[in-house]
Amino acid sequence: MDGVSILAIRVDHPRRLLRRLRQQSHEEALSDALVERALAEQALRTTAMELGRELGHEAREQERRMLSAAGHRVVDAAEHDVETLLKEILHLLAAPGRAGINLLERLIAGADAEPPRQDAARPKRQP
């Protein structure tokens, strides 16, 4: 066995061994511990900031995905509504008899005619 192994066996606790191997004073050990603590706190702050940035990025991505999905749902609903309205209009225009023809004539005439004036459309009041 080498000298370090024999020394480790003879000493009952590793911390005591470390203290015996060190040639530092209590003040130096305390100073080193404070420096190590400050470095560990700085590393913790840095990690927390990085984690915060990543969580913010993930939240923005989730929000973007949700808004995109909501937009697709709105477009799908609007397309369905337009399709339904067009079917109903075509059904009315193709109605048998005079009702469909009158409606079609009124739609065509309404597109070509000028809109009625407000004054002419209202009956005059008598005092």
pLDDT, tens digit (0-9, with 9 covering 90-100), for 4-17: 555 555 545 666 55
* Token code pair at residue 69: 């999905």
CA dihedral angle for residue 41, residue 28, residue 18, residue 12, rounded to 10 degrees: -100
pLDDT, tens digit (0-9, with 9 covering 90-100), for 15-35: 655 665 566 677 777 888 889
Average of per-residue pLDDT across 56-65: 95
DSSP3 helix / strand / coil % (the chain, rounded to 5): 80, 0, 20
